[in-house]
Chain A
Amino acid sequence: MTAKRKRAEKIFFNSEKEMPLAPMSIGSMSFNLTGAWRNIRPVIDLNNCIQCGICWKFCPDTSILIENEFPVVDYDYCKGCGLCAEECPTKCITMVEEIK
């Protein structure tokens, strides 16, 4: 099961008139799907998951969400760093090669 979150759009300007006066942000980085960065992806075996929340806690990309009291990976953004698998106390998360 993959989690889906509200995504932002990439921003294009056709003229300086469309740009803000100062260099300031007007949109969110979540248009950038960093899932494309990874070579390996985490796969959670929910049967052995003890719902401790540690994987959710240590994700630098907020790419593990809690749904129905269980962790779910957001593969749109997960960079495949492996922190969740490394820290999981029951070792129920495996890092698997990305399928081309």
Chain B
Amino acid sequence: MKLSLPLDEYMNPGHLACQGCGATLVMRYVLKALGQKTVLCIPACCWSVIDGPFPYSCLDVPIFHCAFETAAASASGVKAGLEMVGDKETTVVAWAGDGGTFDIGLQALSGAAERNDDIIYVCYDNEAYMNTGIQRSSATPYGAWTTTTPVKHFKDQPKKDIVAIMAAHRIPYIATASVAYPEDLYKKMKKAKEIKGTRFFHIYAPCPTGWKSRPEDTVKLARLAVQTCHFPLFEVENGEHYILSIKPREKKPMVEYLRLQGRFHHLTEKEIQLIQKEVDYNWSRLLRLCGQAVAQSSASE
């Protein structure tokens, strides 16, 4: 039996994630790639709770549960501390949700990226402040219902382009990934592990509880996000060199993705068309950015 990923697990069962949680899949795959010599800095987010309360943990790697806005700063400090006590090998990872990355944690992230601190920053994106009960973040997409963007006043602003922000910092490596493509995530994480400096991952992690989708649809949604080109998979090296990871053979319409999620059920035909237009625009923009590299490396699905 040939498995596409190593058998070793660093995440134990018994954790407190919801049924069908995308964020746990992200952790599972990332740790398979990084291995035992890893330290995680986890600010307030779903994973602060998923890991389990004091005095338990569900992971076989050490965790520093840190203050909400400090994921990147904490990781920078841990890395410096470990090096000064003689450990230059352990990978230090800041592990934050979209809230702790796009919003409250953005300053610390920008600071660490500007200093090119030797950390891997993983943002698992479930598109809202899920841990506190589904409030909107700047990662919430246009049109979504959340508890602070009710249906009559749904999220009116587009999703913040975090990859563009990180690319502007000219850090050595940025990658997007999705839990529906674990081999792609694994490969990128393995590549990132060997690079020195600030590495940033934006990983799509569907949330059945917050998106009002069926728990069994989590992987399907993560796949559709890529196939509709709403969440494309690509890498950015040194802030300039864009490499497309997957170019869908058939670009699926957004409505296929939207109708599986209760948070979009209120949308009118017109609003769905607006969303489609935005996705089309962003996709063609990305293709142009990757145009420099498409000839060298692109994989069709």
Report if A51-B1 is in contact (Cβ < 8 Å); known contacts: A25-B57, A37-B19.
Answer: yes
Task: Indicate with 1 or 0, residue by residue over B1-17, a CB within 8 angstroms of chain A CB atoms.
Answer: 11111010101111111
A72 to chain B, nearest CB (A): 12
Report yes or no: A27 in contact with B55, Cβ–Cβ below 8 A: yes
Interface residues of A in 20-72 (CB under 8 A from B): 20, 23-34, 37-38, 51, 53, 56-58, 60-63, 66, 69-70
Report yes or no: B56 in contact with A25, Cβ–Cβ below 8 A: yes
B208 nearest CB neighbor, chain A only: A81
B190 contacts chain A at the CB level, 8 A cutoff? no
B98 to chain A, nearest CB (A): 18
Q: Looking at chain B's contact residues, is the secondary structure mostly helix, strand, loop, or mixed? A: loop
Report if A60-B20 is in contact (Cβ < 8 Å); known contacts: A24-B55, A81-B216.
Answer: yes
Report yes or no: A62 in contact with B28, Cβ–Cβ below 8 A: yes
Interface residues of B in 1-55 (CB under 8 A from A): 1-5, 7, 9, 11-17, 19-22, 24-25, 28, 51-52, 54-55
A1 contacts chain B at the CB level, 8 A cutoff? no
B213 to chain A, nearest CB (A): 12
Report yes or no: A11 in contact with B19, Cβ–Cβ below 8 A: no
A92 contacts chain B at the CB level, 8 A cutoff? no
B218 contacts chain A at the CB level, 8 A cutoff? yes
Report yes or no: B219 in contact with A28, Cβ–Cβ below 8 A: no
What chain A residues lie within 8 Å of B28 (beta carbons)?
60, 62
The contact size tier of chain A is 35 or more
Report if A87-B13 is in contact (Cβ < 8 Å); known contacts: A60-B21, A60-B28, A81-B20.
Answer: no
Checking A20, A63, A82 against B13 with a beta-carbon cut-off of 8 angstroms, the contacting residue is: A63
CA distance A58 to B16 in the complex (A): 17
Report yes or no: A53 in contact with B25, Cβ–Cβ below 8 A: no
B119 to chain A, nearest CB (A): 22
Report yes or no: B215 in contact with A61, Cβ–Cβ below 8 A: no
B41 to chain A, nearest CB (A): 15
B75 to chain A, nearest CB (A): 18
CA distance A53 to B182 in the complex (A): 13
Could you list 16 A-B pairs, sorted by A, with CB under 8 Å? A25-B56, A25-B57, A30-B14, A58-B219, A60-B17, A60-B21, A60-B28, A60-B218, A62-B12, A80-B19, A81-B19, A81-B20, A86-B217, A86-B220, A87-B220, A95-B216
Interface residues of B (CB under 8 A from A): 1-5, 7, 9, 11-17, 19-22, 24-25, 28, 51-52, 54-58, 63, 182, 214-220
4 pairs of A and B residues whose beta carbons are closest in the complex: A82-B216, A77-B13, A81-B19, A29-B52
Not counting A57-B4, A80-B19, a sample of 5 additional A-B residue pairs whose C-beta atoms are within 8 angstroms of each other reads: A25-B54, A28-B12, A28-B58, A32-B16, A32-B56
